[in-house]
Structure 1
Amino acid sequence: MSLSKRLAERRPLAAALGRRRLAAGLGTFAVLEVIAAVVLAVVVGWSFQDALESFVVTNGLMGCAFAICGAVIAWHRPSNPIGWLFVADGIGHATTAVGAPLAQLLHDNSAPVELQRLALTIFSWSWPWSIGLFLPLALLLFPDGRLVSPRWRPVAWAVVLTSPLFALEMGLSPESPFEGGPSGYLTLSSYDTLQPLWIATELRGLLAFALAIVCLVIRYRRASDTGRRQLLWLLLAAVIAVAFMIPWALVAGTPIFVLLAIPLVPAAVAVAIVRHQLLDIRLVVSRAIAWALLSIVAIGSYAALVAVTDSFISSRFGRSAALTVIVALLIAPVLPRLQRLVDRAMYGDRRDPARVASRVGEELSANPEGGMTGVVSAIRSALRLPYVALSSNGELIATAGSPEPGRPDTTTPLAPPGVVPVELSYGGSPVGVLLIGLRPGESALSVADRNVLALVAVPLAVAVHATQLSAELQASREKLVAAREEERRRLRRDLHDGLGPTLTGVAFTADAAANLVSADPDRASSLLGTLRTDTRTAIADVRRLIDDLRPSALDELGLVGALQQRADQLSWRADGASVSVKVAADSLPTLPAALEVAAYRIATEALTNVVRHSRATAAVVSVRCGSELEIEVTDDGPPNGAWIPGVGLQAMRERAAELGGLFEAGPSPNGGRVHASFPLVVMER
């Protein structure tokens, strides 16, 4: 390989490594800024409450969370802009966090006013970009770093172009963050006169986040199973954050420390992009939503009861204890209902097996012959599964969805990693396998899932068995048609190539003899002799054709007599040694012609194989008639290992299958054995 090609191949690797180093460096820088903020807060003597009220705690935590999570995303997905937006967001918060104690330190030590104003300017102008630009833009691009459609480009551009408004609102304020301290640079003395602009800026921020939420909803509706799980991680963070903030907002106003819930957002986004299969997010979200809804209902009920019964309860029972009991009694039956609603949204109808079975039945009744694809789709949709497939006879006959990668291997060859096989049986015999894809975070099917699948497996096994029977019937019909056409082709060939020329020759010879009777009696007599020979040959051909269609011995001697005649003819082996062939038969009723021919052909073919291929000295043909007609041919030949299927064995097997019979052939401890059994249909005499 040339040097230029090697360099060309290394450039992408070097670029990726450079981006990773940059992401790690920027994330480390933000963390160092937060550490510096903590050190400076200790130096200036701030308590935890002072650090909290000056936003050092909240900005520091958000700076670390956004920077670290952004660096992780950029490290694993360097082409995804969300990681870089989060890194920038984290640096903005971290810079604000270090700016507050630094400005206080400079003020306490009477540093030059210019330096104090510079620190305050950094404090005021760093964090607004995080809220006004980086976070809403990241939500618009979540989770793959691309907009949901080209129609959203104007929205993204509007967020970018209007983001300076929020920075101006926060940075232009002339008020100093510290009592008696100077204000920062880039302030505006007429700040208050622009109040309508700042109100519009606040509305712009709300609209930006509202549009981001709408975008996420649209993504969820259009997303695949994997995309929905990624979005559920963000939903989980939002639910926890809202559940954390709403109680304080309703009861005592929103304190500063509720901002500590915001770092859940970058953490959830990082997990969703890098490791969305960490656990079963649907289960976690269902529980979180249920408790969040219950908390909102509980707080609302508490507030309503306080407003309505304050004077009555406080005067008699004491407000706190009484209201707690009342709210508990009201909320107790609500949680199970909320949990069922959320579980149904996350896991479908798995707690209602009858509903799932009804949907499967509707699919089967709507398309009984080819509805397997609809059935597996219905199961997947009803249980919110990532993958469902149905296999029969080692082949997939219907699939829905796609299996998730990176799961433990299963024991079924058809089942890819992360797919659990559920056997379908009919009459105690397996007829197929239902392949169920596990949800992320699951290592096995839950009890609720197995209960639903156990109920669905019964009608599904019947449908698979019926499908197999239909396929076998169609295959049998095709074989019968093929055999019939092959028999017609053979008869045509025999008549055209054998009997036809012979009869034509007989006609020509008869005409020639008739013409020579008077002129050349000797020649005519010779031709008549040839005519007799050709006629006998034609008769022999006719008999052979008749025997091929149905042995005449069956009509003349019956099945047992025809077998005895054939046994007498096959009394010598290929090497010249004699074989004692005995026919043992029950009294037989009148059998259908097809059954007699099949039994005769199988028995005679088995005897032919004995004298040709075995070294047996004796053979027995047994014909038994009870609920079934049984034909068995045994010999005392030495065992020669397993039999290799040939044309003869295949023909015998097909003759048995055509009439719904069973066929077995192979060595036994006492010699060779061929056995065929047929369902018996007795003909009226």
Structure 2
Amino acid sequence: MSIGWGWGQLVDSFVVTNGLMALTFGLCGAVIAWHRPANPIGWLFLADGIGHATTPLADTFAHLVTDHTAQRALVTVSLAAWPWSIGLFLPLALLLFPNGQLLSPRWRWAAIGIIVTAPLFVLEMAGSGEPVSPELPRGLLTIPSFDSLQPLWTTTEVRNLAALLLAVTCLTIRYRRADETGRRQLLWLLLACIIALLFVTPWAFIAGTPILVLLAIPLIPIAVTVAIVRYQLLDIRLVVSRALTWALLSLVAISIYAALVAVLDSLITSQVGRSAAVTVFVALIIAPVLPRLQRLVDKALYGDRHDPARVASRVGEQLSNPTSAGLPGVIAAVRAALRLPYAALTINAEVVASTASSFSGEVVLLDLSYGGEVVGVLEVGVRSGESGLSPADHRVLDLVAVPLAVAVHATRLSTELQSSRERLVAAREEERRRLRRDLHDGLGPTLTGVAFSADAAANLIISDTLRAVELLTQLRADTRAAIADVRRLVDDLRPPALDELGLVGALRQRCDHLSFRADGTAIHVQLSADALPPLPAALEVAAYRIATEALTNVARHSRATSAVLTVHCTPDLDLCLIDNGPPTGPWTPGVGLQAMHDRAAELGGTLQAGPTPTGGQVHANFPLPHSATGSPSGKLEGSR
């Protein structure tokens, strides 16, 4: 048997809207219940779908049966089934989204209020007794004084709207407190709720609103299902950006249209027709509004990625502010400026600044280069739903990478400087300890013995001349030993050869001394040096000590038969020792190598030491003061 309804009757009798809502809520509830059985939202949606499905089914059966009482019963079921979905199941599910728990214990009263007041909406729908189809009888629960209770029914409508607004408020609070994953989930639902409210609110309060606006409600279960099960499906930020833009634009267009209709109705209608005039005015006004609205929405969702200068300014403020958080503050500023889910800075494979303890999404690595050297790596997380960073993101990050690389380089130099200072202090204290030990254990007892011997000789010079002579002889030997100790201490502080012979002469002397090994084998050491300008004392000592240590290493550890030591001004002071020893593996850093590196670093120089295919090499370079670089130089050579 067929009831013979057309499309218009199916729409007017809510069969289309209730059927679609039953289908979407039921299927979405089943999907959520299957993947997340512990989440009550899936079961609430299933109950919602059953309620929406019951209404059109009961209404259809009421047309098929002929018994009057059965028809009234089915009409009652039809009227009382669907209100539970809108008044109870949907707002309660929104309160529990996304994890199935209330936001806090305080929201328990909101849930209780929704549950307790839900029967009011059912009573309103069933109490009217008015069937959807005029050919059907009234329901069994018809209230005789229904019209006199109109204030109560108005309150019920307000209650429904308040329940939905309360749920949206709860979602907004959750969004503000959520992490990046939670915000992506909530954005799906917030978008669907806003669209549904824009469509459903006029239907509830404005007579004549088309019934098909209710088809916006199925967007909510779809959005909830995507948010819970597959929130990474699309870039929800992009979806929200476009949706908000068009929503704002539509609102502006409607407002302008209404205003123009009111103002120009009497002036233009009689001339060119209302719709043509208003359409032209709206088009002219709306045209420049869309890009501005789009920029505002994009700024809210993607930050300042379309304004690289602003992002660079924010980074500069973080770098220049002495009270800022340093590099962690800069990384946080970059992430906030671009609304990125994750950002971190890695230096020498170590994370020195990060905006999150972990990130499971895709990460893009950007090298930070300074002077052709990679000083660090900027790691940024890709937004959910995006396959990579957009060109706008790359432009901003490329601009930010320059000052960030400078900051990383400066931080590294500061760290190295602090480490060098600590080594200098430690070396100074060790030198002081050595001098104190040498003076106390060596020179001190010697001078004390000299004093005792002198006193004893003075006392015995008359009574025991021979004994006095022996004491004076011993006194002379002790004095010479003391003088030797003093000379050794002085030599350790600064080699006297530097003051007597200059750097080149002192190095030539060291080449002579190290021309033979301890076993008697000879080493042919050649010195090639410029006539050096006057050098700072510290630079002379550093160059002399490095050359001496390098020559000593050749004599002790290599099997070389010859070595060449060169000293040039180019315009820096350049010192290089090359021997012809057989190739060896990498040199193991020891006390001598570390001391050479430290001496070079203390004066802003560099040192490279290690094997080469033709032998060992030690190369040191020191920057010279400006006053020394302009002195003339000549060529001196010596061979030993």
Taking structure 2 as the reference length, what is the TM-score of the superposition? Answer: 0.91
1:290, distance to aligned residue in structure 2 (A): 0.8
CA deviation after TM superposition for structure 1 residue 432, in Å? 2.4
- Once residues 441 and 340 of structure 1 are traced to their aligned partners in structure 2, the CA distance between those partners, rounded to angstroms, is 21
The match for 2:636 is: none
Matched residues in 2 for 1:277 and 1:536: separation?
88
Deviation at 1:311, TM superposition (A): 5.9
Residue 656 (structure 1) aligned with residue 600 (structure 2): yes
Structure 2 residue 299 is matched with structure 1 residue 340? no
Aligned match for 1:151, one of 80, 87, 106: 106
Aligned pair in 2 of structure 1 residues 507, 76: CA closer, same or farther (>3 Å)? farther
Aligned residues of 1:621 and 1:632 also touching (Cα < 8 A): yes
The equivalent residue for 2:82 is 127
Partner residue of 1:557? 501
Correspondence 1:667 to 2:604: no
Q: Which amino acid aligns with 1:465?
A: H
CA-to-partner distance for each residue in 1:620-639, whole Å, 9 max, x for gaps?
11111231111111111111
CA distance change for structure 1 residues 55 and 180 in 2, over 3 Å: closer, same or farther? closer
- Report if aligned partners of 1:388, 1:435 keep a CA contact under 8 Å in 2: yes
- Partners of 1:369 and 1:181 in 2: CA distance: 74
> In the alignment, which of 18, 25, 38 is matched to residue 79 of structure 1?
38
SS for the counterpart of 2:331 is helix
2:55 is the counterpart of 1:96: yes
1:183-208 Cα deviation digits (max 9, x unpaired): 44444333333333222222222222
What residue identity is the alignment partner of 1:277? Q
Q: Offset of 1:673 from its aligned partner?
A: 1.2
User: What amino acid is the match of 1:216?
Assistant: L
Displacement after TM superposition at 1:505 (Å): 2.8
What is the SS of the residue equivalent to 1:576? coil
1:511-538 Cα deviation digits (max 9, x unpaired)? 3444444444444433333333332222
Question: Are the counterparts in 1 of residues 234 and 386 from structure 2 also a CA contact under 8 Å?
Answer: yes
Shift of 1:318: 4.6
Residues 501-650 of structure 1: pairs in structure 2 closer than 5 A: 501-650=445-594
Q: Distance in 2 between matches of 1:683 and 1:356?
A: 44
8 A Cα contact 1:244 1:261, kept in partner:
yes
Instruction: Give the 3-state SS of the residue equivalent to 1:127 in structure 2.
Output: helix
3-state DSSP class of the match of 1:130? helix
Partner of 2:620: 676
2:146 aligns to what?
A: 191
Give the residue type in structure 2 aligned to 1:389.
A
Equivalent-residue separation in structure 2 for 1:249 and 1:167 (angstroms):
15
Counterpart selection for 1:279 from 207, 231, 234:
234
What is the aligned partner in structure 2 of residue 221 from structure 1? 176
The 5 A counterparts of 1:37-76 are 43-76=2-35
Separation in 2, partners of 1:249, 1:113: 31
Q: Secondary structure at the match of 1:172?
A: helix
Deviation of 1:284 after TM superposition, in Å, equals 0.9
- TM superposition shift of 1:361: 2.1
Distance 2:590 2:424 in 1: 20
Separation (CA, whole Å) in 2 of partners of 1:206 and 1:243: 12
For residues 620-670 of structure 1, the C-alpha deviation after alignment (integer angstroms, 9 at most, x for no partner) is 111112311111111111112322222211111111111111111122233
Shift in CA distance, 404/101, structure 1 to aligned 2, threshold 3 Å: farther
Does residue 1:384 correspond to 2:333, yes or no? Answer: no
User: Aligned equivalents of 2:252 and 2:155: distance in 1?
Assistant: 33
The C-alpha deviation readout for 1:135-172, integer Å capped at 9, x for no partner, is 11222222233333333322221111111111111122
Distance 1:404 1:47, change over 3 A: farther
1:440 maps to which residue?
A: 384
Question: Alpha-carbon deviation of 1:393?
Answer: 3.4
1:665/1:180 CA distance change after superposition, 3 Å: closer
CA separation of 1:330 and 1:245: change in aligned 2, threshold 3 A: farther
Which AA in structure 2 matches 1:553? A
Q: Secondary structure of the equivalent of 1:633?
A: strand
Q: 1:366 to 1:482 in 2, by over 3 A?
A: same
Does the CA-based 8 Å contact 1:129-1:163 persist in structure 2? yes
Query: 1:319 Cα shift?
Result: 4.4
* TM-score when normalising by structure 1: 0.86
Moved more, 288-297 or 571-580: 571-580
1:138 to 93, 100, 118: 93
Conserved? CA contact 1:421–1:436, under 8 Å: yes
Per the alignment, in what secondary structure is the counterpart of residue 652 of structure 1? helix
Confirm or deny: 8 A CA contact 1:174 1:189 kept in the other structure: no
> Which residue of structure 2 aligns with residue 167 of structure 1?
122
CA deviations over 1:399-453 (Å, ceiling 9, x no partner): 2246642x3xxxxxxxxxx222222223333332222222111221111112222
1:562: how far off? 1.2
User: SS of the counterpart of 1:673?
Assistant: strand
Distance 1:290 1:90, change over 3 A: same
Cα distance between partner residues in 2 of 1:249 and 1:308: 29
Deviation at 1:43, TM superposition (A): 4.3
Q: 1:239-264 CA distances to partner (integer Å, 9 max, x unpaired)?
A: 44456668999999321222112100
**Following superposition of structure 1 onto structure 2, how do residues 29-40 of structure 1 map, counting pairs within 5 Å?**
none
Looking at structure 1, the residues matched to 43 and 197 of structure 2 have their Cα atoms a distance apart, in angstroms, of: 26
Alignment of 1:365-444 (within 5 A): 365-367=320-322, 370-401=325-356, 404-405=359-360, 407=361, 418-444=362-388
- Residue matched to 2:315: 360
The residue that corresponds to 1:299 in the other structure is 254
Deviation at 1:671, TM superposition (A): 1.7
* Cα separation, partners in 2 of 1:114 and 1:400, compared to 1, 3 Å: same
Number of aligned residue pairs: give it. 629
| Residue 29 of structure 1: aligned partner | none
Secondary structure of 2:233 counterpart: coil
1:185 and 1:213, CA in 2 relative to 1: closer, same or farther beyond 3 A? same
Kept after mapping to 1: 8 A contact 2:62/2:136: no
- Unpaired runs of 5+ residues, structure 1, are 1-41, 408-417
- Output the CA distance in 2 between the equivalents of 1:175 and 1:639: 104
CA contact (8 A) 1:67 1:87 kept: yes
In the aligned structure 2, how far is the partner of 1:246 from the partner of 1:126? 21
Q: How has the CA–CA distance of structure 1 residues 318 and 202 changed in structure 2, closer, same or farther, with 3 Å as cutoff?
A: closer
Cα displacement string for residues 180-236 of structure 1 (whole angstroms, at most 9, x for unaligned residues): 544444443333333332222222222222222222233333333333222211222
Q: Using the aligned pairs only, state the percent identity.
A: 67
CA RMSD across the alignment:
2.7
- Does 551-560 or 64-73 show the bigger shift? 64-73
Contact 2:15 2:56 in 1 (8 A): yes
> For residues 435-480 of structure 1, what are the alpha-carbon distances to aligned partners after superposition, in whole Å with 9 as ceiling and x for unaligned?
2222111221111112222222222222222222222222222221
- Shift, 1:682, TM fit: 6.9
Q: Distance in 2 between matches of 1:113 and 1:491?
A: 119
1:268-300 deviation line (CA, Å, top 9, x unaligned): 112122222222111111111111222232233
Residues 452-531 of structure 1: matches in 2 within 5 Å? 452-531=396-475
1:592 and 1:682 in contact (8 A); partners too: no
Measured against aligned partners, the alpha-carbon deviations of 1:335-394 in whole angstroms (never above 9, x if no partner) come to 111111111111122222222222222222222785323222222222222222223333
Assess, with a 3 A threshold, how the Cα gap between structure 1 residues 243 and 167 changes in structure 2: closer, same or farther: closer
Is 540-549 or 566-575 further displaced after alignment?
566-575
